[in-house]
């Protein structure tokens, strides 16, 4: 097998940082990974980022995660979403219990025309089922505190 080629079947438990990586959720029952998406380049560094939803986090308030791409991302084979701290990505918390924020997540493209990708997060049960969607503008420094 040539370097860079993969076998016909790749067992996901064999991801080791050289052939990909795993992203572990924070808590039992969070449902991290229920929704996943490319995030575009949310922080404007020229590298694509990832967006992961966990709609059942904190009594179904929901939480979404942005993992910044870049050299060495996932090189250990595992990223723990609890370790996002603003330099490697950040967390987006839902508004209220039973909102299910992060049920759906996606890139929004560059919705405000500033040249940087933006995010779209859905909370389908906000206000007892009325629902709410959120657009988070990207840019240098977005999520630098680790939590939005």
Q: What is the mean pLDDT of each run of 10 residues along the chain (148 residues)?
A: 71 95 97 98 98 98 98 97 98 98 98 98 96 97 91
Q: What is the pTM of this model?
A: 0.93
The answer to whether position 104 is within a domain reads yes
In this prediction, residue 6 carries a pLDDT of: 73
- Split into its structural domains, the chain has a count of 1
Is residue 8 domain-resident?
Answer: no
**Within a domain: 87:** yes
User: Rounded CA gap, 140 and 56, in Å?
Assistant: 29
Give pLDDT, residue 1.
45
Place of tokens 């995030």: 39
* DSSP bridge pairs for 96: none
Domain holding 53, by residue range, is 30-136
Whether residue 144 is contained in a domain is answered as no
Say how far apart CA 79 and CA 84 lie, in whole Å. 9
Residue 24 lies in a domain: no
Cβ burial of 40 (10 Å; 0-12, 13-18, 19+) is buried
Asked, for residue 77, whether it belongs to a domain, the answer is yes
pLDDT at 7: 80
pLDDT of residue 113: 98
Domain-located, residue 112: yes
Write down the pLDDT at residue 2: 52
């Amino acid at each position: 097998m040539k370097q860079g080629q993969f076998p016909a079947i790749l067992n996901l438990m064999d991801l080791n940082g050289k052939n990909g990586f795993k992203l572990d959720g924070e808590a039992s029952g969070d449902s991290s990974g229920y929704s996943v998406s490319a995030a575009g380049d949310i922080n404007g560094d020229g590298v694509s980022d990832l967006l992961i939803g966990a709609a059942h986090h904190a009594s179904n308030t929901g939480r979404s995660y942005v993992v910044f791409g870049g050299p060495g991302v996932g090189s250990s084979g595992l990223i723990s979403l609890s370790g996002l701290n603003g330099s490697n990505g950040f967390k987006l918390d839902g508004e209220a219990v039973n909102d299910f924020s992060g049920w759906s997540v996606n890139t929004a493209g560059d919705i405000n025309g500033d040249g940087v990708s933006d995010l779209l997060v859905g909370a389908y049960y906000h206000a007892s089922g009325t629902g709410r969607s959120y657009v988070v503008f990207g840019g240098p420094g977005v999520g630098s505190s680790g939590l939005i």
